[in-house]
Amino acid sequence: MTSRPYDDLPTVRYEGPDSRNPLAYRWYDADRVVLGKTLAEHLRPAVCYWHTFCWGGQDPFALGADVFRRPWSDGDPLAAAQLKLDNAFDVFRVLGLPFWCFHDRDVAPEGATLRASNAMLDAVLERAARKMQDSGVRLLWGTANLFSHPRYMAGAATNPDPEVYAYAAAQVKHALEWTQRLDGANYVLWGGREGYETLLNTDLRRELDQYGRFLAAVVEHKHKIGFRGTILIEPKPQEPTKHQYDYDTATVHGFLQRYGLEGEVKVNLEVNHATLAGHSFEHEVATAAALGLLGSIDANRGDEQLGWDTDQFPNNHVQLVPAMLEIIRHGGLGQGGMNFDAKVRRQSIELTDVLIAHVGGVDTLARAFLCAAALHESGDLEHPRDERYAGWDGALGQAILGGSGLDALADRVHAQDLSPQPRSGRQELLEQLVNRHV
């Protein structure tokens, strides 16, 4: 195998819905203008480094080795990391997508000390900076891996050992500063270990306070160094731990308020994390939008029959239309984007499988977005929704929201012998209206 197998592949182009080329876009016409912006500006798609360049295809549930054999799978770790980086930028070029995302430990190996780890990270990211400059590929977000090393086994910020907290803080400092240096649009905190395995050994209140303090320290440091990106938390209900403290958007909402961080931190919502938490993805998007927390998206999907995070590439555009509609209603993702936190299936061992998966995924997002934009512009859903709540813009609704108490409202009910009648929710009609646009 050549060491740069993607090097001579042509860039994937938009060829339209009738194309039969698996390495062409059928829906993602990056420069097509919809709702006042290009598709690329709406979606801001990103390739994630970990699944695409670091995951070896291991079976999570069996003892066993990597099944993917890549040119950068072996050899001196730092040299392999540099070769991996070259290949990654080859893939970014082939796919023609504008963004990438990384954890610190995706990019460079762990050393014997944090200083050593940092030095290796610096070496690879210096090269990445040049490649970003050359290619125009931008950083949607950076993050630190605070979950793989055994020291984080019982949590990073929420570890019972404050030295682990200190180590994590130092690691985040470095990753956040690199994110700033690479002009990252966001910085993500993923609490993969911020949770518990058993309540029998856990002091929940202590751990929440530790986590609150950690997050506040990250926000303080962001302001100290003048980083202009958004700090994001990525909710996930469990896995690897029994229970994670950033379970879902509503939980994060309560947490941010408790620690005075509302307005400073938003959420990075992953489709498969939403469904593992018992929510539809559109629920998480609508909730984050309503609460002012909508930051960015990890665009993948789960398997509806499996109870863990399968991180599959999206392939059903109809299913994504409601979430896209909520994003459009909210006015878009701002400096967020849509990161493919998705991995090819373990049996998809070929290098081209990685490309094909991204092409299919990008097309699914683009098609869903186009459908949702048409739906939104048609007013087919928007008008009936406004009409449904019209009463709340009237006198009674405004009086209630203005502070009418139980006594006043009871008087009104008795005086008028109020007997409000139910109205149809028209769900099936609305579902049919959606289907006009998909």
Binding residues for Mg(2+), as ranges, are 234, 270, 273, 298, 309, 311, 341
For the CB of residue 121, give the shortest distance to a second copy in the complex, in Å.
14
Is 205 a residue that touches a second copy (CB under 8 A)? yes
Please identify which residue in 2, 11, 133, 421 interacts with a second copy, judged by CB under 8 A: 421
272 binds, among a second copy, Co ion, none (CB under 5 to 8 A by kind): Co ion
Task: Identify whether 363 is a catalytic site residue.
Answer: no
Tokens 């197998």 belong to 5
> Does residue 276 touch a second copy according to CB under 8 A?
yes
CA 1-359-365 angle, 5° bins:
150
- # binding residues, a second copy (CB under 8 A): 160
307 touches a second copy (CB under 8 A):
yes
Residues at the binding site are 234, 270, 273, 298, 309, 311, 341
Closest by CA to 195, choosing from 235, 249, 236, 243, is: 243
- Counting beta carbons within 10 angstroms of the beta carbon of residue 424, is it exposed (0 to 12), middle (13 to 18) or buried (19 or more)? exposed
Both tokens assigned to 274: 């939403």
Interface characters, 290-309, with Co ion (x: CB under 5 A) = --------x----------x
Q: Is 70 exposed, middle or buried (0-12, 13-18, 19+ CB in 10 A)?
A: buried
Q: At 129, which helix (H) or strand (E)?
A: helix 114-135
Residue 134: CB minimum distance to a second copy, A: 28
Q: How far is the CB of 128 from Co ion (least distance, A)?
A: 21
Hey, what amino acid is at 335? Q
- The three-point CA angle 106-8-5 to 5° equals 45
The span from the CA of 28 to the CA of 16, in Å, is: 8
Tokens representing residue 419 in the block = 């007997």
Taking the complex as a whole, the smallest distance from the CB of residue 96 to a second copy amounts, in Å, to 17
CB of 405 to a second copy, least distance (A): 5
Residue 54 binds to a second copy (criterion: CB under 8 A): yes
Smallest gap from Cβ 341 to Co ion, in A, equals 4
Bridge partners of residue 34, in order along the sequence: 37
Q: What is the dihedral of CA 296, 301, 307, 310, to 10 degrees?
A: -100
> Which CB, 39 or 169, lies closer to a second copy?
169
**CA dihedral of residues 39, 44, 48, 51 (deg, nearest 10):** -40
Site membership for a second copy, residue 192 (CB under 8 A)? yes
Question: Does residue 348 touch a second copy according to CB under 8 A?
Answer: yes
Using CB under 8 A, pick the residue from 94, 120, 328, 434 that binds a second copy: 434
277 binds, among Co ion, a second copy, none (CB under 5 to 8 A by kind): a second copy
Nearer to a second copy, 123 or 438 (CB): 438
Token pair 């909210």 in the structure block, residue: 330
Contact (Cβ atoms closer than 8 angstroms) between residue 437 and residue 374: yes
Contacts to Co ion from residues 306-325, by CB under 5 A: 309, 311
Residue 106 is a catalytic residue: yes
Q: Quick one: what does residue 298 bind among a second copy, Co ion, none, with the CB cut-off 5 to 8 Å set by partner type?
A: Co ion
By the 8 A CB rule, do 324 and 371 touch?
A: yes
* Residue 316 binds a second copy, judged by CB under 8 A: yes
Say how far apart CA 424 and CA 412 lie, in whole Å: 25
Which sign, positive or negative, has the C-alpha torsion 35, 40, 41, 43? positive
* Marked catalytic residue, from 29, 51, 90, 103: 103
Burial letters for 127-143: b for 16+ Cβ neighbours within 10 Å, e otherwise? bbeebbeeeebbbbbbb
Pairwise CA distance, residues 100 & 19, whole Å: 27
Q: Which residues in the 181-210 window bind Co ion by CB under 5 A?
A: none
Nearest distance from residue 172's CB to a second copy, in Å? 6
d(C-alpha 138, C-alpha 136), whole Å: 6
Q: Enumerate the β-bridge partners of residue 38.
A: 33
Q: Which of 16, 75, 278, 331 touches a second copy (CB under 8 A)?
A: 278
Q: Which entry of 29, 104, 106, 363 is annotated as an active-site residue?
A: 106
Q: Is 33 in the site for a second copy (CB under 8 A)?
A: no
Residues 336 to 375 in contact with Co ion, rule: CB under 5 A: 341
- In whole angstroms, give the CA distance from residue 420 to residue 88: 61
272 binds Co ion (CB under 5 A): yes
Work out which of 1, 10, 11, 20 binds a second copy, going by CB under 8 A: 20
Residues 84-103 that bind a second copy (CB under 8 A): none
Q: Among residue numbers 134 through 173, which ones bind a second copy (CB under 8 A)?
A: 147-151, 153-154, 159-167, 169-170, 172-173
Residues that bind Co ion (CB under 5 A): 270, 272, 298, 309, 311, 341
Catalytic site positions: 103, 106
